[in-house]
């Protein structure tokens, strides 16, 4: 099998780390979540599948994440979207299955819109969205802000909140919220032009199943499948969750091959 290569490209003056495995089309493109990186369990599992199945697989770290340069606090959806599009156009060829986890699902939905706007029809063969969190700034975070957090956001331009996944707190900036509003996708019907499969844990404490149901309702009924995973949390990284992820991506890649 073809080995995976690691390289870097510059996007907007920032060094972006990329890992790419050559293989047959359709390939899979991993889009991670807020503060996650491309060396996580789900991405590594998909890379092993791609190697064994002979499919191409591409993943990268957003600026301020993992092996990439830049400061996390400079990050916005628009910046991370531009980086993801640059990686997609530089390293992939032919149709691809976008696999977006949490915030990565938001990036994936914005990517397909931008690609179609640029006339790059057919580049996205399908989408697999795990615990999707599109519009999370406005839909999930902002409604839960405490008065102190709202004051900090207005006066300091950011606030910190404890993370369940890291000893370091999450940092939310005013720029992230403002830019998030400019990138919202759940304001009306969403036509991706491809099949979408959503995997959502029914015990997710961060992105409730109701958010996945709302997203599914905005997609064409004949092109979307929503699977509620019993006992699944936000990570969806149990062995059975990983098996479901691989089976879903493999089925979509096979169906579009």
Report all structural domains of the chain as residue ranges with CATH numbers, in order of start: 4-133+195-256 (3.40.50.1820)
Q: pLDDT digit string (tens) for 108-132?
A: 999 999 999 999 989 999 999 999 9
pLDDT in tens, 175-226: 999 999 999 999 999 999 999 999 999 999 999 999 999 999 999 999 999 9
Dihedral sign computed on CA atoms, order 206, 212, 215, 219: positive
Distances (CA, A) of 92 to 142, 208, 246: 35, 33, 20
Mean pLDDT for the chain overall: 96
Q: What is the pLDDT of residue 256?
A: 64
pLDDT of amino acid 46: 98
pLDDT value, residue 165: 82
Select from 248, 128, 139 the least CA-distant residue to 185.
139
Residues 136-150, mean pLDDT to the nearest whole number: 96
In this model, does residue 2 exceed pLDDT 70? Answer: no
pTM: predicted TM-score of the whole model, two decimal places: 0.96
Residue 176: half-sphere exposure toward Cβ, Cα within 13 Å: 21
Kindly give, in sequence order, each residue whose CB lies less than 8 Å from that of residue 186, ignoring residues fewer than 6 positions away. 134, 135, 139, 214, 215, 218
Q: With bands split at pLDDT 50, 70 and 90, how would you rate the model's confidence at 166? A: confident
For Cα atoms 230, 247, 228, give the angle at the middle one, nearest 5 degrees.
Answer: 20
| pLDDT number for residue 216 | 98
The residue whose two tokens read 């301020």 is: 64
| Phi, psi dihedral angles at 7 (to 5 degrees) | -150, 180
């Amino acid at each position: 099998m073809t080995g995976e290569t690691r390289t870097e490209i510059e996007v907007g003056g920032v060094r972006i780390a990329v890992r790419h495995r050559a293989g047959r089309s359709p390939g899979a493109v991993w889009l991670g979540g807020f503060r996650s990186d491309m060396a996580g369990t789900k991405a590594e599992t998909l890379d092993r599948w791609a190697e064994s199945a002979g499919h191409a697989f591409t993943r990268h770290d957003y600026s301020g994440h993992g092996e990439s340069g830049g400061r996390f606090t400079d990050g916005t959806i628009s910046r991370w979207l531009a980086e993801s599009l640059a990686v997609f156009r530089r390293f992939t060829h032919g149709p691809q299955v976008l696999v977006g986890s949490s915030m990565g699902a938001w990036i994936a939905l914005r990517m397909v819109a931008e690609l179609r706007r640029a006339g790059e029809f057919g580049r996205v063969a399908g989408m697999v969205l795990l615990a999707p969190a599109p519009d999370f700034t406005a839909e999930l975070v902002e409604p839960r802000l405490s008065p102190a957090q709202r004051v900090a956001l207005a006066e300091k331009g950011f606030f910190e909140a404890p993370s369940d996944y890291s000893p370091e707190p999450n940092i939310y900036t005013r720029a992230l919220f403002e830019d998030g509003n400019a990138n919202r996708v759940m304001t009306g019907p969403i036509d991706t032009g491809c099949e979408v499969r959503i995997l959502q844990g029914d015990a997710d404490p961060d992105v409730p199943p109701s958010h996945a149901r709302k997203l599914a309702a905005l997609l064409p009924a004949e092109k979307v499948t929503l699977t509620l995973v019993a006992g699944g949390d936000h990570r969806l990284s149990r062995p059975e969750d990983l098996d479901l992820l691989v089976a879903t991506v493999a089925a979509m890649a096979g169906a579009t091959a």
